[in-house]
Amino acid sequence: MGNAPGSLESLRRTNRLRVLQTVQSRGAASRADIVRLTGLSRTTVSSLVAELVSESLLVERPDQQPPPASPNGGRPATLLTLDPGAGGFLGMHFGHDGLRVAVADLSCTVLDEEQRTMDVEEHVGDAFGHACEMAARLLGRLDLAVSRVVGLGVAVSAPVRHDSGAIASPSPLKGWDDVNVAEELDRRLGLPVYVGNDANLGAVAEWMFGAGRGVDDFVYVMLSDGIGSGIMLNGRLHLGATGTAGELGHVVVSPYGFVCRCGNRGCLETVAGGRALTAALSQVTGPNTTLDDVLRLARAGDPGARRAVQDAGRAVGRALSGLCTMLNPRLIIVGGRTGAAGEPLLDGIRASLAREVSPPVNGSVGIVPGSLGERAEVLGAIALAHRMTPAAALTGRAGGSAAGTGTAGGRVI
Amino acid sequence: MGNAPGSLESLRRTNRLRVLQTVQSRGAASRADIVRLTGLSRTTVSSLVAELVSESLLVERPDQQPPPASPNGGRPATLLTLDPGAGGFLGMHFGHDGLRVAVADLSCTVLDEEQRTMDVEEHVGDAFGHACEMAARLLGRLDLAVSRVVGLGVAVSAPVRHDSGAIASPSPLKGWDDVNVAEELDRRLGLPVYVGNDANLGAVAEWMFGAGRGVDDFVYVMLSDGIGSGIMLNGRLHLGATGTAGELGHVVVSPYGFVCRCGNRGCLETVAGGRALTAALSQVTGPNTTLDDVLRLARAGDPGARRAVQDAGRAVGRALSGLCTMLNPRLIIVGGRTGAAGEPLLDGIRASLAREVSPPVNGSVGIVPGSLGERAEVLGAIALAHRMTPAAALTGRAGGSAAGTGTAGGRVI
DNA sequence: GGAACTTACGCCGAAGAACGGAGAAAGTAG
DNA sequence: CTACTTTCTCCGTTCTTCGGCGTAAGTTCC
């Protein structure tokens, strides 16, 4: 068979893929654009495009906007785009207090999304049911058959085991211990499913769509009730030996502090997690204060709330300082609900880093807020499906994504 | 030109390289072996091998050992090896108290090496001069012309700037601030020079030849007078945004401890560096104790020395704990002179990690001593030259590695 | 409105690369 | 000496990319 890398057929497959990726990354491109971007010859591109069009992976868009209308005349290019009917990606996010579903086309442009608040922890089965309903509704609105969806990405607010794809136990999502999300959703939808941790996928999302575009080494910090992070190195997500890298919430910052649910003492989460923030303010605001209350107060300028947020930032900075010294990242992106608190938080982080990281390294790392807000995780789930899919499903098209796909579809990023 | 990836010529170049790498990794291989290992067809391999032999990159070794002598007869294979005369790599290491030079053939087998103790810091120029002399002597013994050396790797016990390749300033090597090692050695030898930090190259060496073989995510910790580390992630060395990643010695472990030369306070180096170890024992052993004295005592079983070493290990473990939680590496390799202290040191590290890293993550990381000892850095330098070279020098052979090579040869790994 | 120009695109034959079949080479087993 | 096995090379076929040339479809200038 000609599957071996190094064969002629594999060369053509590679070039097909490069054409597809070029179109995908630009949204729309003419054959001439593709020539310029790939370095392939006009005639090769022409032939590859013809093939792809005949397989209805690409479509011509004669109507489309005039591409800047070439400087001094010439025949206008006919733009090509991915065939919207050729398929799409689904993304889901299961968080502590709700779920979110989104649909994107093959070029990862989000077409529609839905959000729903519910108690995800109590009723695992219901959560899956609702997510599937929402997905079906979205696909219906877009007139896209389920069988055309080439992949489903799922973000879960819990560590995902590298080997099995199951949720680690004990999990921060109560009731989700050892649940195999990939198998479950594959069974219900018959799609290849890819599961990832929410902080990791937030990092991927910021890298593809947000504040991390064009940056290949950064750390995405997700501050909400829990604290997690995603580490992007050399343009790849770093998962670690067992797939649980990035557990920023369990970096020790206070060796004789509170005992943490992980069994250690003084983890960052006990100092800067949601519970710590509300506890810090509880003498002022009462025992039933929620994290969102604290954040609302801080945004409104309440000095106590701002102080609490800033102190949390300081602790986060201490937890990050060793990592910055060791990894020397270009950027730290701060997201999550607490992350939206903005300047007081970022100032706290910057202050700690300035104290504990050597000046040249500290000077080379930027601290910025994430730009995707609460949507980061779903978008990351879609990006995950996108990154796991292309080679197999867009080029080979061997069998059917229709029947079964086996259970083995599930893999972490 | 046919340089573009995706062209036919590039395909052939790729396949040539695969053939070369196959021979290289096995030391010797027949054409039939190459067929089995690469998946290319017999006839393609035959043609590629003929080409490579005619360029005297490969040689036939009809004499060579009988390859297990095929199970039931058949024409015996003629083995191929890299042509020993085709070239080689040079490696150099400039440490605080001496330098080391080694020569390897194209398959990275070390053929010969020399070591010399001297004050590298005082006389920078002399250090270069001696290194070049040693290199010339080694090449002479092996009857290898300088013009056949395809690359020179250099390990320096100081941070190397990512952009310029110059030594960072202030540098732990006195007198080396802003020295551009690559330019200097290129000028003297007319070779492509690649410069790297010693801890980083130690990591590369352990990965290629030592305790890190087959492991793609590990941290190499180098404990000597100074403390550094090299971080191998996904089979690539992680350098960071400005090329100074891995500065383990400047991770803060004691916020109100001694001020460090980097300007911060309580860096690991102030607690576990050579000076800290000797100071800890100075009341017992006198003011002129050296690091090697302490290590000798510890090896001999002196309780005080062992205690000091173990405490240093504890501090190292604290500095590493956050990194382990965040990166979840598979392995930590401990090298350097203090690293040779063995169990008391490793026990200290393990104790701290057990305290500060969550059990599942802690359980998945191994702590082992390096297996290359004082040779790690030179070997890493050779590995660096090897990794930076192949595609250009072994396949293209366009111009001359003879004249000039310009100054642009110098690049970090 | 028409000529000149520019750019985009497709067809054709050429050059190059890998592959499969047939056959020669070089051993072992009986 | 014969049968057998494995290695390796030569030849013709197939596949892919590439450059040249011709055509299509606009803009600019007069």
- Specify the pairing of strand B227-233 against strand B149-156: unpaired
SS3 state of residue A45? helix
Determine whether the interchain pair B356/A255 forms a contact, defined as Cβ–Cβ distance below 8 Å.
yes
| Domain ranges in chain A with CATH number 3.30.420.40 | 88-201+376-395, 211-371
Nucleotide nearest the Cα atom of B45 (by C1')? C18
Q: How far, in Å, CA of A333 to CA of B268, rounded? A: 27
pLDDT tens, B39-93? 999 999 999 999 999 988 888 887 666 555 556 677 888 889 888 777 889 999 9
CA distance A227 to chain B (A): 12
CA of A40 to C1' of C14 (A): 18
Of B403, B404, B384, the closest CA to residue B151 belongs to: B384
The superfamily (CATH) of domain A211-371 is ATPase, nucleotide binding domain (3.30.420.40)
Going across the sheet that includes B218-223, the strands are B236-238, B227-233, B218-223, B331-335, B366-369
Helices (H), A143-251: 181-189, 198-209
Cβ–Cβ < 8 Å for B131, B138: no
Q: How far, in Å, CA of A93 to CA of A156, rounded? A: 6
CATH entry 3.30.420.40 includes domain A88-201+376-395: yes
B-chain residues near A231 (CB < 8 A): 326-327
Cβ–Cβ < 8 Å for A206, A376: yes
Q: Give the single-character DSSP code of A312.
A: H
- Specify the pairing of strand B236-238 against strand B149-156: unpaired
Hey, how many other C-beta atoms are within 10 angstroms of the C-beta on B255? 11
* Helical (H) or strand (E) element with A309: helix A303-327
Q: How far, in Å, CA of B86 to CA of B49, rounded? A: 15
- In this complex, which residue's CA is closest to the C1' atom of nucleotide D10? B43
Q: How far, in Å, CA of B274 to CA of B295, rounded? A: 10
Q: Show the tokens assigned to A394.
A: 């867009």
Best of B217, B231, B358, B367 to disrupt the A interface (most A CBs within 10 Å) is: B358
Enumerate residues 223 to 262 of chain A having a beta carbon within 8 A of any beta carbon in chain B.
229, 231, 233-234, 236, 238-248, 250-252, 255, 262
Q: What distance, in Å, lies between the first and last C-alpha atoms of chain B? A: 28
Nearest Cα residue in chain A from B228? A326
Identify residue B192 by its one-letter amino acid code.
P
CA of A130 to C1' of C26 (A): 72
Whether the CB of A300 is below 8 Å from some CB of chain B: the reply is no
Q: Show the tokens assigned to A165.
A: 């794809």
SS3 state of residue B181? helix
Instruction: CATH number for B11-67+78-82: choose from 3.40.50.10090, 1.10.10.10, 3.20.20.140, 3.30.70.20.
Output: 1.10.10.10
Q: Which residues of A146-166 are buried (b: 16+ CB within 10 A; e: fewer)?
A: beebbbbbbbbbbbbbbeebb
Q: How far is CA A58 from its chain centroid?
A: 26
CA of B34 to C1' of C24 (A): 21
Q: What is the phi/psi pair of residue A389, to 5°?
A: -90, -50
Taking CB atoms within 8 Å and a gap of at least 24, the contacts of B255-262 are B255/A356, B261/B170, B261/B172, B262/A358, B262/A359
Q: Which residues of B339-362 are buried (b: 16+ CB within 10 A; e: fewer)?
A: bbbeebbbbbbbebbebbbbebbb
Determine whether the interchain pair A229/B5 forms a contact, defined as Cβ–Cβ distance below 8 Å.
no
Per-residue pLDDT of chain A (413 residues; tens, 9 = 90+): 445 677 777 788 889 989 988 888 888 889 999 999 999 999 999 999 999 999 888 898 876 665 555 566 778 888 898 887 778 899 999 988 889 999 998 878 899 999 999 888 888 888 999 999 999 999 999 988 898 898 999 999 888 887 777 887 777 788 888 888 999 899 999 998 999 999 999 999 999 999 998 898 999 999 998 999 999 998 889 999 888 899 999 999 998 999 998 888 999 999 999 999 999 999 988 888 899 999 999 999 999 999 999 999 999 999 999 999 999 999 999 999 998 888 899 999 999 999 999 998 999 999 999 999 999 999 999 999 988 875 445 554 332 232 223 223 333 44
